[in-house]
Structure 1
Amino acid sequence: MTIARSPRVLVDATSVPADRGGVGRYLDGLLGALADHSDIDLVVVSQRTDQERYARTLPHAQVVAAPAAVAHRPARLAWEQTGLPLLAQQVGAQVLHSPFYTCPLRAGCPVTVTVHDATFFTEPEHYEKSRGTFFRSAIKTSLRRAERVIVPSKATRDELIRLLDADPTRIDVAYHGVDHTAFHVPGEEEKARVRSRLGLGDQTYIAFLGAKEPRKNVPNLIRGWMAAVRDRVDPPALVLAGGQGHDDEIDRVAAEVPAHLRLLRPGYLRYADLPGFLGGAVLCAYPSHGEGFGLPILEAMACGAPVLTTPRLSLPEVGGDAVAYTGQDADHIAKDLAILLDDEPRRCALAAAGLSRAKEFSWSSSADAHVSAWQRSIRHQR
């Protein structure tokens, strides 16, 4: 009897940024869950700075370092079209997975691509012109060329079908997961450590975690927070953690914050400090204009934090009834922040519901969905 060999899948991890932002969280979580997956033979190509990390965390996978030049985006995109197909041939890949919108036009084997969201089409005003143009073109190309497209939510799938007439039979939904060991309900010591590092003392705070891009709606969050807390005896601070992004309006609005209110912008926090930061907040606010998934609200829920977000695109798929919703304008944000700040029982109920709902999302389930898509791409390659 002949035993079928598990298909060899090459995952391109060269797009992971040094700060382990959104695509880094996605790939680290996915690859970790794939490490012992018996249904595939895994090969990972990474930047040289990540080779040791992946070799350590993926002991049963083959880890290959890409040329040093791929650390620069133009060189990486060029290598993707030439060097990556050659590598796929050298390692005998039966499927090549490109995890960040773009893919080789000719790979010599079926290609699957993750398209994280359709907001480049639905919210074009929130992107720099050149960036928006590039990713809109990349998404259209991937929809044409890839054997299958993987998306993190039904909302993203539906938008691709509605806006671009994408073939629904070639789109697979694979929800993101959350690392429940890394993102957990923090103890008092974890909370205190973060508060000390931020210089908050005993002051309560509202937390935001994410890149400072126009789509994240941070200026209206600042305006809404100012209106909601300016007349309170002990107003909570607003802490905007994460990358700086390219939203220049944030600086202009931040300059309007009254002296008696505290707006903190600490930049990136240590990964180990995120549970204490999210779980130690009086609430986490994420009033985004639209997301392909909304990983920050899932991570906040997993840390036992009450969450206020918007009912835009995929966010209700992630939050369900376990989060509170608000509008995108500053007046709605102010009103709903004030309601939650004055209602501790409601915040406690949201925290408990969010913690329960977060358990429904795992990287193991996401890995299973990816493997199913890869197996389908082999069976039905065009």
Structure 2
Amino acid sequence: MTAAPRSERLRVLIDATAIPPDLGGVGRYVAELCPALARAGVDVVVVAQARDVEALGRADGVEVLAAPGRIASRAARLAWEQVGLPGVVRSVGADVLHSPHYTMPARVDAARVVTLHDATFFSAPEVHSRVKQAFFTTATRLAVARADALVVPSHATQEQVLAHVRGDARRFVVAHHGVDTARFHPVPEAERARVARSLGLEGRPYVAFLGTLEPRKNVPALVRAWVGAVEGTDPAPALVLAGGPGWDREVDPAVAAVPAGLRLVRPGYLPYEDLAGYLAGAALVAYPSLGEGFGLPVLEAMACGAAVLTSRELSLPEVGGDAVAYAGTDEASLRVALRSLLADPDRRADLARRAVERAALFTWDAAAAAHVTAFEAAVRRRRER
């Protein structure tokens, strides 16, 4: 391949081939970051699987290339990352290769920047499968050893990585995620009522959870705490567990033990257009996670004007600040906090007001500026070598 001529602007190739088909998680990160980088004056080129080219190419100033169709499986993608991706870097004349999901090529003709989203593979290995834990701890160690710069979504993630992996703190840049306020914002009562009707909860208060039902989300403890907090109240707020089914085998037994007089709803994935109404319409949004790299669901709920109850684990206080309520992750602590907040509408209203104000501090343009800092530092380090 013949290298493309370089422009004066920083030219960055983002490898989006690892993102999942539904653009969840890392996919949302890439989709929001790319147009913000273009607004920041970066020449952004994205290489993506064919299924994602149209979605990622809608943003102004972002060029999207289709990767070979044969890399749909994880093993094939990882092999292509080593032998095929370096050729794409050369062909587009990239100054920087940004690998937004832990892994990167061993050799490439550009500065290498890697995003490490989470350190719970080290700090809480029990909440991950053994295969996943082994893969991501190895990938993190390689990235810390070899990348020219590392992006993390929180100071807590940086601290946890460096507590378990020997590395240079100067190569880390903290880039808090932003929130998409076009999707997550306070909505009128009519919209909240519409979503409540779609859940079969018209006129009934509810506690909302949003996320994949994986072990670190601590959903079984939430279910049991909710039962203890609302039994005997009239009307008893329902509990809604929205999101993917995940792999937490303790969720179903906890749900099966809910007394017949209480209402628990498991709608699965909600349409994107319903999320703001769902979060804003909740009496309380509960997110009692055992640990997060950032905690985007908390920020999104805050942006919708929800009163949020979460934990103080890892990055969550960085996101919530004094605009959310906190509890321990054990059932007893959650039960006390739920009961107290559900009985105090004035406190919930105050939290909701402060949440919107704090959420406005987290923007994708600010995240893009932090990434540009990482890209420029990576280029300098590569030139020095």
TM-score, L = length of structure 2:
0.96
Secondary structure of the residue aligned to 1:97 is strand
- Return the letter of the residue paired with 1:79: W
Q: In structure 1, which of residues 26, 29, 35 is the aligned counterpart of residue 38 of structure 2?
A: 35
- Is 2:91 the partner of 1:90? yes
CA distance in 1, matches of 2:346, 2:44: 47
How many residue pairs match? The answer is 378
2:110 maps to: 109
Partner of 2:3: none
Could you tell me which residue of structure 2 aligns to residue 369 of structure 1? 370
Give the drift of 1:32: 2.5
Q: Report the CA distance between 1:310 and its aligned residue.
A: 0.4
Distance between the aligned counterparts of 2:243 and 2:40, measured in 1? 32
**Bigger mean CA deviation after superposition, 59-68 or 221-230:** 59-68
CA offsets per residue over residues 309-333 of structure 1, 9 Å max, x none?
A: 0011110011011110001111110
Q: Which amino acid aligns with 1:366?
A: A
Shift of 1:380: 1.6
Question: What secondary structure, in the 3-state scheme, does the structure 2 residue paired with 1:321 have?
Answer: coil
Q: What's the offset of the Cα at 1:69?
A: 2.9
Identify the residue that residue 66 of structure 1 maps to in structure 2: 67
* Runs of 4+ displaced beyond 4 Å: none
Distance in 1 separating the partners of 2:108 and 2:7: 24
Q: Per-residue displacement from partner, 1:166-202 (whole Å, max 9, x unpaired)? A: 2101111011000111110011222122112211121
C-alpha distance in 2 between matches for 1:71 and 1:242: 24
Q: What's the counterpart of residue 52 of structure 1? A: 54
**CA–CA distance in structure 2, aligned partners of residues 266 and 27 of structure 1:** 27
- Residue type matched to 1:99 in 2? P
Measured in 2, the distance between the counterparts of 1:201 and 1:103 equals: 49
Distance 1:77 1:351 in 2: 43
One of 28, 40, 43 as aligned partner of 1:25: 28
Alignment correspondent of 1:247: 248
Shift of 1:265: 1.2
Following superposition, the deviation at residue 4 of structure 1 comes to 7.0
User: What does residue 224 of structure 1 align with?
Assistant: 225
Report the counterpart of residue 5 of structure 1 in structure 2.
8
Counterpart position of 1:296:
297
Quote the offset at 1:273 in angstroms.
0.9
Alignment correspondent of 1:77: 78
Matches of 1:54 and 1:4 in 2, distance apart?
Answer: 22
Aligned pairs (5 A) from 1:154-193: 154-193=155-194
2: CA distance between counterparts of 1:52 and 1:23?
Answer: 17
Q: Deviations over 1:289-343 (max 9, x none)?
A: 0111100000000000000000111100110111100011111101100000000
Contact 2:34 2:44 (8 Å CA) reproduced: no
Range 295-304 or range 141-150, more displaced? 141-150
How big is the shift at 1:86? 1.3
Q: Match of 1:35, SS?
A: helix
Mapped partners of 1:8, 1:61: distance in 2 = 11
Letter in 1 for 2:322: D
When structure 1 is superposed on structure 2, of 71-80 and 315-324 the one drifting more is 71-80
Instruction: Give, in angstroms, the shift of residue 18 of structure 1.
Output: 2.2
Classify the secondary structure of the residue corresponding to 1:234.
coil
C-alpha separation in 1, matches of 2:356 and 2:22: 26
Distance 1:141 1:262 in 2: 47
Offset at residue 275 of structure 1 (A): 0.3
Any idea what SS the aligned residue of 2:84 has? Answer: helix
Asked if the contact 2:35–2:62 (Cα under 8 Å) also holds between the matched residues in 1, the reply is no
Structure 1: distance between partners of 2:225 and 2:306 = 20
> SS state of the match for residue 285, structure 1?
strand
Report the secondary structure of 2:321's partner residue. Answer: helix
What is the distance in 1 between the residues matched to 2:192 and 2:21?
26
Once the two structures are TM-superposed, the CA of residue 72 in structure 1 deviates from its matched residue by 2.2
Amino acid at match of 2:52: D
Q: Distance in 2 between the 1:4 and 1:46 partners?
A: 23
**Aligned partner letter, 1:23:** V
Q: What code does the residue aligned with 1:12 have?
A: D
Q: Distance in 1 between matches of 2:200 and 2:35?
A: 34
Corresponding position of 1:133: 134
Unmatched 5+ stretches in structure 1: none
SS in 2 for 1:247: coil
For 1:62, the aligned partner's letter is: E
Identity of aligned residues (%): 52
Q: TM-score, normalised by structure 1?
A: 0.96
User: d(CA) in 1 for partners of 2:263 and 2:72?
Assistant: 37
Partners of 1:33 and 1:89 in 2: how far apart? 24
Contact 2:119 2:293 in 1 (8 A): yes
Query: Counterpart of 2:16 in structure 1: which amino acid?
Result: A
What is the one-letter code of the residue matched to 1:53?
Answer: A
Q: Distance in 1 between the 2:269 and 2:144 partners?
A: 34
Query: 1:281 maps to what in 2?
Result: 282
Q: Which amino acid aligns with 1:228?
A: A
Q: Which residue identity does 1:18 align to in structure 2?
A: P
Unaligned 5+ residue runs, structure 2? 1-5
Q: Distance in 2 between matches of 1:297 and 1:341?
A: 18
CA distance in 2, matches of 1:209, 1:98: 27
2: CA distance, partners of 1:343 / 1:363: 34
Aligned residues of 2:40 and 2:365 also touching (Cα < 8 A): no
Match of 1:357 in 2: 358
